[in-house]
Amino acid sequence: MTENGKPKYFTLMEELKEEILSGQIQPGEKLPSENQLTEKYSLSRHTVRKAIALLEREGYVEAYHGKGTFCSEKMRHMKKSRNIAVVTTYISDYIFPRLIQGMDNILSEQGYSIILKNTGNSRQKEARCLEELLQKDIDGLIIEPSKSQLSCRHPNLYENLDKYQIPYVFIQGIYTEMKDKPHILMDDVRGGYLVTQYLLELGHRRITGFFKADDIQGINRHKGYVKALQEAGISYDPDAVVWFHTEDRKSKPAMMVREMVRSGNLPDGIVCYNDQIAVQVIETLEACGLKVPEDISVTGYDNSLYAQRGTGITTIAHPQEKLGEMAAELILEKIAGVPEEDSKVERMIQPELIIRGSCRKYD
């Protein structure tokens, strides 16, 4: 027993814990060896081991055979940093500035700052972002998953977030194996249905679809496209669908449009994955001597600035700022420990059709 009546191992444990909590011992830093602690505090090795075992049980340290005992990385996240990490696939003038603005509207009011990262829709870069963020002081994470239609290559990093009790929220997509995790999505099946149904109502029957194959949004928008065709009694033709990936998104849609023109196998309407693809399709058609909508009607998705230029593109509204605000509100709920059944945040955003000048009634 020590003078304060506590066992010696407990007193040593408390002193080491104080050094960890005060920052004298940093997360990831190696603690003095058993021999060094024995000599410094004039204690037996048995007493030192009991103190270390207590710290390990409470999660303050981690012992690695042959390497020593280290301050747990979990300690990096024990103090509130007032930082929220936001990881998106891209940072551009497309929809992301408004998305971030929505998050900042809510988070800044609550005294939080945003740490912003982007992955270029690369799973490898997403892993690097998560590894880096796990070394930083963050209270929560809002993330748009990369290539969300494919399986997650780094579930261990999400497991580490769970281990360190860092809540995270997925937006705009979610990995199939993580569907039980908090997420906010748009009803993309409904969105794909609405644009296809609109072309059908205008009298179009030969409708081609351009969809992204490696994001869940593309898969779901395609499902809506198929549903609308089937309801109209039109058989689904897989040859009328162009699938592209992240890596060829800037070239394949244009290439396939040129091939359609060359072969004479032209549709009367085209449903595009998003507004960026719609612009690429329209510019290629016009370069080939065709006019939109006089010759072919084209739709987009997201209601971005691209869709609002000139006579505009018929598209699906993307409530960018609202989505950002919803994601921020949800991560704050998770940080506060609000039970799922008491959450006040919607998890599914309903799409809205925006009609502009890229479509016309088909004679």
The last residue of one of the domains, among 45, 76, 107, is 76
Instruction: Check which CATH number belongs to the domain holding 72 and give it.
Output: 1.10.10.10
343-356 pLDDT, tens digit per residue, is 999 999 999 999 99
Domain membership flag for residue 228 = yes
Confidence of residue 2 (pLDDT cuts 50, 70, 90): low
Identify whether residues 196 and 304 lie together within a single domain.
yes
Domain membership flag for residue 1 = no
Domain membership flag for residue 274 = yes
Rounded Cα distance, 39 and 133, in Å: 37
At 270 the pLDDT is: 98
Residue 244: which domain range? 188-318
At 137 the pLDDT is: 84
222-275 pLDDT, tens digit per residue, is 999 999 999 999 999 999 999 999 999 999 999 999 999 999 999 999 999 999
Identify whether residues 183 and 324 lie together within a single domain.
yes
Identify whether residues 109 and 208 lie together within a single domain.
no
Identify whether residues 158 and 302 lie together within a single domain.
no
Q: Is the pLDDT of residue 20 over 90?
A: no
Helix (H, G, I), strand (E, B) or coil at 92: coil
Instruction: Check which CATH number belongs to the domain holding 269 and give it.
Output: 3.40.50.2300
Domain membership flag for residue 362 = no
pLDDT mean over 194-217:
97
List, as own/partner pairs, every contact residues 19-28 make where C-beta atoms lie below 8 angstroms and the sequence separation is at least 24, other chains included.
20/55, 20/60, 20/61, 20/71, 20/75, 21/75, 21/78, 25/71, 26/71, 27/71, 27/72, 27/73, 27/74, 27/75, 27/76, 28/70, 28/71, 28/73, 28/76, 28/135
Domain membership flag for residue 359 = no
At 79 the pLDDT is: 65
Identify whether residues 132 and 51 lie together within a single domain.
no
Across 159-178, b (16+ Cβ under 10 Å) vs e yields ebbeebebbbbbbbbbbeeb
Identify whether residues 193 and 226 lie together within a single domain.
yes
Confidence of residue 73 (pLDDT cuts 50, 70, 90): confident
The last residue of one of the domains, among 76, 99, 129, is 76
At 86 the pLDDT is: 97
329-340 pLDDT, tens digit per residue, is 999 999 999 999
Contact present, 303 and 316 (Cβ < 8 Å): yes
Confidence of residue 76 (pLDDT cuts 50, 70, 90): confident
How many domains, in total, are found in the chain? 3
The last residue of one of the domains, among 41, 60, 76, is 76
At 359 the pLDDT is: 98
Confidence of residue 93 (pLDDT cuts 50, 70, 90): low
At 207 the pLDDT is: 98
Identify whether residues 57 and 91 lie together within a single domain.
no
Confidence of residue 77 (pLDDT cuts 50, 70, 90): low
Domain membership flag for residue 363 = no
At 4 the pLDDT is: 60
Q: Is the pLDDT of residue 363 over 70?
A: yes
Lowest mean pLDDT among 36-50, 65-79, 161-175, 227-241: 65-79
Identify whether residues 324 and 183 lie together within a single domain.
yes
Q: Is the pLDDT of residue 5 over 70?
A: no
Q: Is the pLDDT of residue 106 over 70?
A: yes
At 331 the pLDDT is: 98
Domain membership flag for residue 332 = yes
Confidence of residue 3 (pLDDT cuts 50, 70, 90): low
Identify whether residues 306 and 280 lie together within a single domain.
yes
Identify whether residues 225 and 300 lie together within a single domain.
yes
Identify whether residues 192 and 307 lie together within a single domain.
yes
Domain membership flag for residue 30 = yes
Confidence of residue 362 (pLDDT cuts 50, 70, 90): confident
Identify whether residues 180 and 291 lie together within a single domain.
no
At 354 the pLDDT is: 98
